[in-house]
Amino acid sequence: MKAAIYSRKSKFTGKGESIQNQIELCKEYAQKHFNIDEFLVYEDEGFSGGNVDRPEFQRLIKDVKKKKFNILICYRLDRISRNISDFSSTMELLEENDISFVSIKEQFDTSTPMGRAMMYISSVFAQLERETIAERIRDNMYQLARSGRWLGGKTPTGYKSEAIIYHDENLVKRKAYKLAPISKELELVKKIYNKYLEFQSLTKLESWTLENGITTKNRNNFDKSALKLILTNPVYCIADDIIYEYFQNLNADVAAPLFDFDNKHGLMVFNKHNQKKKTKVVRKDESEWIIAVGKHEGIIASRDWIKVQNILNKNSSKAPRAGTGKYGLVTRLLRCNNCGSKMRVSYKTVNGEVKNYYYRCLLKERSRKSKCDIPNVNGKVVDDLIVNEIKKLAFDENKLYKELARKKDNIKHLTKSHESEKNRLQKELKKYEESINNLTMQLAKNANSTASKYIIQQIEALDNKITDIKKKINNMDEVQESTLLEQMNLELVESSIRKFATDFENLTIDEQKKILEQIIDSITWDGEKIEINIFCQK
């Protein structure tokens, strides 16, 4: 069994609950209560428990996700965090990864039934806190929504943020913000709406912007997602009784009375998206939106705005997902060498039956050849060529397997080298830790003498050396993990090539695509030839 010990102290001292004292106490507890084979120690000195932005704690969290140990031990609960929400999140993560938690001061041990009960109580209180905070945020949002003010963030195309000064009920001068128009950009927004109503297609609208050299305010080419963002934003819609009824029917939270929908101002929407850390922004259902009337003027008639939403929804339900058809083995791998765009499958049909298919550059298609004019390539010819080349690799021992063997030998040599260096560093680390233990004992005997000052300086110098060595060991561990992952990838490529060669005819097209994606890094078409890049040949 492996145990992790986490210790934290805001300021260095050799007395009381020092880092070293915490670690020793945790080790003593572990040896009495568990059968521990190895200890992993994480030390944060000089960091507050008010947040989780601590280097060793972050390393601990990474190792939890990798399930590097079976139990986490700390001296006191607040060593993990002084924030109940952060503490609860850590506990949830440990539970998800089947790792027990022990706090020796409070006798909090989740490897026991009582400890698990305490964990449950802790999670209930944390959930209550989260729900209370969410409710408070929603209440504040609702009150702010009534004011129609701009609450900050990236302004929509056609508007800028402008300060307005007002006096509150106590005649205190306050500052708020509203959206102010940028005439040239708003004219473009009107054109985009009109053209979409004409084309009724995001693809055609995108092509129109590319052909006419129309760009975003950051001078980038418009793509379908950027255009859709403009077309679905209620900020441009004129507030009137029709749009009021529209959002009422969607069960949206309309924060303004009907008489505020004055057929002049635009709309403001709050609580539109759900954004989580390190994940994409997800649009919430309209029933969760808070709708208010803004202080800016709207530019799109409500009937037109609603018509655009209906067309978008209708087209969205019909749109196929890329790379999921029964034609085009390498759709997700093939790119245009001229412009770097993806290449998609297009079909030639006769009487509704597919007679042939081609790979076409997406940018060429979107811009109607104005941005890229690379020739199309016959899809069946490309797919057959790639299948035959992969099959050849499976039986060409001299070409592929020598390369795989060479890379495996390199990995083996690198692993031995790392292990030797890591052993050397661990011996050096042990020597410095013993020196600190000796100095700590001297400090306890000479706490009130002038020598204590110099002993602490020596301890701090050794502690810096220990920190440096631990960083080196951690870096080596990360390199080692990366190396092992590379070895697994090489073995996966080798087995995938063999499986592809022997079982190809018995696989479904989805299985064929998946195996090709495990073998091939990328495929490019330059107008004359196809280039295949295998993972192990990089």
Closest CA relative to residue 220, chosen from 321, 298, 229: 229
Q: How far apart are CA 289 and CA 213, in angstroms?
A: 35
Q: Mean pLDDT over residues 347-370, rounded?
A: 84
* 3 state SS of 8: strand
Q: Is residue 142 part of a domain?
A: no
The verdict on 248 and 365 lying in the same domain is: no
Say if residues 292 and 301 touch (Cβ distance below 8 Å).
no
The domain that holds 199 is classified in CATH as: 3.90.1750.20
141/112: higher pLDDT: 112
- Here the tokens at position 254 are 């309309």
Band (473; pLDDT cuts 50, 70, 90): confident
Q: Is residue 141 part of a domain?
A: no
At 257-273, the pLDDT tens digits run 899 999 999 999 887 87
Q: Is the dihedral of CA 74, 77, 83, 85 positive or negative?
A: positive
pLDDT at 298 over 60: yes
Band (277; pLDDT cuts 50, 70, 90): very low
Where does a domain end: 290, 317, 344? 317
Q: Which of 24-33, 294-303, 393-402, 411-420 has the lowest mean pLDDT?
A: 393-402
The verdict on 302 and 347 lying in the same domain is: no
For residue 306, how many C-alpha atoms fall within 13 Å in the half-sphere facing its CB? 15
The verdict on 410 and 487 lying in the same domain is: yes
Question: Model-level pTM?
Answer: 0.52
The verdict on 485 and 400 lying in the same domain is: yes
Predicted local distance difference test score (pLDDT) of residue 11: 61
The verdict on 211 and 180 lying in the same domain is: yes
Predicted local distance difference test score (pLDDT) of residue 185: 94
Where does a domain end: 269, 288, 317? 317
- Here the tokens at position 38 are 């190895």
* 3 state SS of 520: strand
Band (275; pLDDT cuts 50, 70, 90): low
Predicted local distance difference test score (pLDDT) of residue 76: 85
Q: Is residue 246 part of a domain?
A: yes
Helix locations, 329-401, DSSP H: 362-367, 379-395
Q: Mean pLDDT over residues 334-343, rounded?
A: 92
Q: How far apart are CA 155 and CA 79, in angstroms?
A: 42
Predicted local distance difference test score (pLDDT) of residue 220: 87
Q: Mean pLDDT over residues 234-257, rounded?
A: 92
Predicted local distance difference test score (pLDDT) of residue 475: 83
Band (232; pLDDT cuts 50, 70, 90): very high
The verdict on 363 and 474 lying in the same domain is: yes
Q: Is residue 359 part of a domain?
A: yes
Domain that holds residue 303: 161-317
Q: Is residue 337 part of a domain?
A: yes
The verdict on 529 and 390 lying in the same domain is: yes
Band (68; pLDDT cuts 50, 70, 90): very high
- Tokens 């052993």 belong to which residue? 423
The domain that holds 26 is classified in CATH as: 3.40.50.1390
Q: Mean pLDDT over residues 105-119, rounded?
A: 75
Where does a domain end: 131, 153, 185? 131
Q: How far apart are CA 225 and CA 309, in angstroms?
A: 14
The verdict on 311 and 336 lying in the same domain is: no
**DSSP 8-state code for residue 530:** E
Q: How far apart are the first and last CA of the chain?
A: 39
Closest CA relative to residue 268, chosen from 166, 147, 181, 183: 147
Say if residues 459 and 436 touch (Cβ distance below 8 Å).
yes
Predicted local distance difference test score (pLDDT) of residue 86: 80
Total residue length of the chain: 538
Band (135; pLDDT cuts 50, 70, 90): confident
Q: How far apart are CA 470 and CA 473, in angstroms?
A: 5
Distances (CA, A) of 441 to 7, 14, 148, 456, 487: 20, 9, 66, 11, 47
Burial label for 465, CB within 10 Å (0-12, 13-18, 19+), is middle
The verdict on 184 and 301 lying in the same domain is: yes
Closest CA relative to residue 311, chosen from 439, 201, 421, 217: 201
Burial readout 422-454 (b: 16 or more C-beta within 10 A, e: otherwise): eeebeeebeebbeebeebbebbeeeeeeeebee
Distances (CA, A) of 200 to 62, 207, 246, 308, 364: 48, 13, 21, 8, 20
The verdict on 352 and 472 lying in the same domain is: yes
The verdict on 269 and 355 lying in the same domain is: no
The domain that holds 448 is classified in CATH as: 1.10.287
Q: Is residue 388 part of a domain?
A: yes
Q: Is residue 472 part of a domain?
A: yes
pLDDT at 152 over 60: yes
- Here the tokens at position 12 are 């260095």
Q: Is residue 287 part of a domain?
A: yes
Number of domains in the chain: 3
The verdict on 430 and 524 lying in the same domain is: yes
Predicted local distance difference test score (pLDDT) of residue 278: 44
